[in-house]
Amino acid sequence: MKRAFIVSILLLLVIFSVPSLSSAQKPIVLGAPLPTAFLYGWTAEKGLKLAVDEINAAGGVTVGREKRPFKVEVMDTRDLEPVVPVSDALLVLEKLILEKNADFIVGGPARSEAALAAMDLLSKYKKVSILTTGALSPAYHRRVEAEYDKFKYCFRISGEVGWLVAGEFVPKLVDIKAKLGLSRLFIMVQDVAHARGAGDLTGKLAKEKGWEVIGTEIYPTGTTDFSVGLLKARRENAQVILIVMDMPESSVLLKQWFDMKIPALPFGTIIAAAEQPGFWRATEGKGEFCMASVVNAGNAPSRATPWTMKFVEAYTKKYGLEPEGYGTSSSYMAPYVLKDAIERAGSLDSDAVITAIEKTDLMGVYGRIKVHPKSHQVIPSIDPNEGAVGTIFQWQAGKRVVVYPPKIAMGEIKLPPWMKK
């Protein structure tokens, strides 16, 4: 009886000592300021959590001589809402740093205006940040390059609009002109800074490549009727409609385009509504033929690297649907980039981690991940062995078929029947 009692006590001690052992492994807190009600927010959250689960299941991060798990703290910034509440996003960021004791910031803020404003806070608190979703403004990495000592804490491993336009959209337009003989471009953009900038730049570069830009329409956020603009495009014999919109109402545009049988191919360089796997069902197939960019490979299925489909399958298994759009694969890669850098740095010290991230050379989900040592922007490429590759796909029979860049393309562009001569 006495022996049984002692054994029981010992067993209890062992049981209760397990949590105290694990609590000794203080987690590395990743603060994620994200607009969680918007595509670019929840995709990032899901991507981050998937990566963190995988890393923790594999033993965590080696910091010096100890293994520590990652812990994600997500807070809603709401910065993709129409009024762009930058101050709210900054409050959230500060809360993550001061109240949640975030060791690193990953993910957002997602709206360029908020991300740019957040740079000063990151600098003030000396917090290393990896931007992975939403913000596409080139001003972000240009500021880092211009004031390196102040903004060296800021990295971005997702895309930026300068490369997207010059390296992906315009080359794709050149390809469309050569292969399909289309050359008349009509531009429809949302009235926000990044969209207007992307529309203007694409139009300018397309002209240099022999395209005729026959009109530009700028729509305020929340527009629900595009009929007059579409009729203008039809009247002017547009052959491609370039769309740059991150508002949900862009699906109205595509439905109207289909119903009105406008004889111009919709090329959604940024069109958040068309990125998601559920878009097909939501438009009852009216999104067929729409092209869309998801910025980084892996946000739609492709075989960019051996890791791409592994990621797509893991995401699909965990969440029940394919990666949903921009922000997913880059947010998934952020904890891996940090893990790699922390292990090489051997500490969580900001300066040591910055130096380590600058030396990152990791074959990830969307190609080789290396950052420019001065601007801290991921180095883009159209070859996954050289750098981070993007993805432009076209909706074909309910599937997102990658059509650019050529090295990872899984099909060719198809024209709607009412465009065929």
Partner 1 sequence: MDILIYGIINSVSLALMAIGFTLVYGISRLPNFAHGALYVITGFLVWSLIHLLKLNYVLSIVLALLIMGLLGAAIYRFVLIRVRGMATSEIIATYALGLAILEFLRWGGFKGMTYTLPVFIEGSVNIGGIPVDLQRIIVITIGVVVVAFMWLFTHFNKTGLALRGMAQDEHAAMMLGIDSDWMAVVAMGMGSMLAGIAAIALLPLGNIVVEAGYNVLVLSIAVCIVGGLGSWVGAILAAFMIGFLQIITVAYIQSHFHMVVAILAIIITLILKPSGFFGKQKELEERV
Q: Which amino acid is at 224?
A: T
Residue 80 Cβ, how far from partner 1 at the closest point, in Å? 10
CA nearest 46: which of 247, 275, 318, 306? 318
Binding of partner 1 by 183 (CB under 8 A): no
Q: Between 268 and 287, how does the x/- string for binding to partner 1 read (CB under 8 A)?
A: ----xx--x-xx-xxxx---
Q: Residue 346: left if φ>0, alpha if ψ -120 to 50, beta else—which one?
A: left
Q: Between residues 103 and 275, which has the closer beta carbon with respect to partner 1? A: 275
> Interface with partner 1 includes 293 (CB under 8 A)?
no
Q: Which residues contact 229 (CB under 8 A, 6 or more apart)?
A: 188, 217, 219
Q: Which is nearer to partner 1, 191 or 386 (CB)?
A: 191
Q: Which stretch binds partner 1 (CB under 8 A): 38-46, 67-75, 105-113, 389-397?
A: 38-46
Q: What tokens appear for 82 in the block?
A: 């129409």
Q: Interface with partner 1 includes 398 (CB under 8 A)?
A: no
Binding mask 241-270 for partner 1 (x = CB under 8 A): -------xx-xx--xx--xxx---------
C-alpha–C-alpha distance, residues 179 and 171, integer Å = 12
**Site residue total, partner 1 (CB under 8 A):** 38
Q: Are 109 and 40 in contact (CB under 8 A)?
A: no
What the block records as the tokens of 243 is 């769309």
Q: Please report, in angstroms and rounded to a whole number, the separation of the first and last CA atoms in the chain.
A: 93
Segment near partner 1 (CB under 8 A); pick from 35-43, 93-101, 142-150, 171-179: 35-43
CB nearer partner 1, residue 102 or residue 188: 188
Q: Is 120 in the site for partner 1 (CB under 8 A)?
A: no
Residue with smaller CB distance to partner 1, 21 or 228? 228
d(CA 141, CA 163): 12
Strand residues in 172-262 grouped as ranges (E): 184-190, 212-219, 240-245
Least distance from C-beta 262 to partner 1, angstroms? 8
Distances in whole angstroms, Cα of residue 87 to Cα of each of 23, 82, 121: 35, 14, 12
| Residue with Cβ nearer partner 1 (233 or 338) | 233
Min separation Cβ 195 and partner 1, Å: 12
- Residue number with CB closer to partner 1 (227 or 396): 227
Euclidean distance between CA atoms 276 and 35, whole angstroms: 17
Both structure tokens of 20: 């105290």
CA distance 183 to 211: 5
Q: Quick one: tokens of 31?
A: 């603060």
CA distance 288 to 279: 10
Out of 54, 145, 175, 191, which residue is the one contacting partner 1 (CB under 8 A)? 191
Residues in region 199-228 near partner 1 by CB under 8 A: 217-220, 222-225, 227-228
At 317, which amino acid appears?
K
Contact with partner 1 (CB under 8 A) among 7, 11, 231, 363: 231
Q: Which residues bind partner 1 (CB under 8 A)?
A: 37-39, 42, 81-82, 191, 217-220, 222-225, 227-229, 231-232, 248-249, 251-252, 255-256, 259-261, 272-273, 276, 278-279, 281-284
